[in-house]
Amino acid sequence: MPRRTALLESHVVSSEPGADLKHMDEYVSYLATLTANRQIFLLNFHANFHAFETMFRALQTAWARLGTERDRPGRSQVGLLPFANILARHTLVGFEHLTYYQSFLAWLAFRPGLEAFLMIGKFVEDPANADIWKNRQSDWKSYKKTFSGSALESKSLAQSAAYRQILTHLNGEFIHPNPDFAYRDAAQKNNGKSVLLEIQCFDGDPDIHEGHLLAYLNLLDLVVVGSENLVTNLCGPPVAASTRETYSKQQFNRAKQLATKNGVSKKVMEELGNWKV
């Protein structure tokens, strides 16, 4: 089936006073575009939607053990669950934006979840780090020293260095309005004496959107495996071990083809999804 292109909706600013701008119906149009794009996404990426569902259930299952089991020395680790819930919530909301063809919002929404995941690693590595986290307001220097930059990496969380590097990319590309951020979705049009500056609300290039989708799902799969391993190290092997094939193995040929076809997609997949293509 040929892939359908997402609908686009722009916010337009004109340099000419009194120019004919979009008025009160703009938000209604935006909502209609969201609805249409969700349907288009389900037509284009039905299998990816179900892959997300499978991984998200596995993520929830991994962390749910902390609500019913104790760690190997017999201690409760229920204090980690709020951070696991932050991870789950932002994973879900981030993927929702991908179904709307809003990659920039997907990563913005997911970022706190990824940071919460890294913080769990710090708490497991040294429970005293939880006190530093609690006293963030009164002892900012200790908090910054413990949870900033490479200090956010931990031995208890495999690949934490890779996660932290991805967090750095997210900060630079989706948090701060630097030049790359400002110009990425902007387009200028001359209209007689007017200059129209359009800011797109949705992905305009299907290949780049797919690159973000592959990056997001591969990163999520890595986070799921990391969650399962961390909880297993704490509490011992689960009753039923995961038998899922990794997403990178399933989709490697697809990712490789897309990376060859589109350099921007390749960069996105490597920097945000930890693909080796």
pLDDT tens-digit profile of 20-54? 445 557 888 889 999 999 999 999 999 999 999 99
Confidence of residue 2 (pLDDT cuts 50, 70, 90): low
With H, G, I as helix, E, B as strand and everything else as coil, classify residue 11.
strand
pTM over 0.75: yes
The count of C-alpha atoms lying within 13 angstroms of the C-alpha of 135, restricted to the half-sphere facing its C-beta, is 12
Per-domain boundaries in the chain = 46-185+208-273
Q: Give residues with Cβ within 8 angstroms of 189, minimum separation 6.
A: 195, 196, 197, 198
Q: What are phi and psi of 269, to 5 degrees?
A: -65, -40
pLDDT at 239: 86
Question: What is the pLDDT at residue 203?
Answer: 93
Cβ pair 120, 83 in contact under 8 A? yes
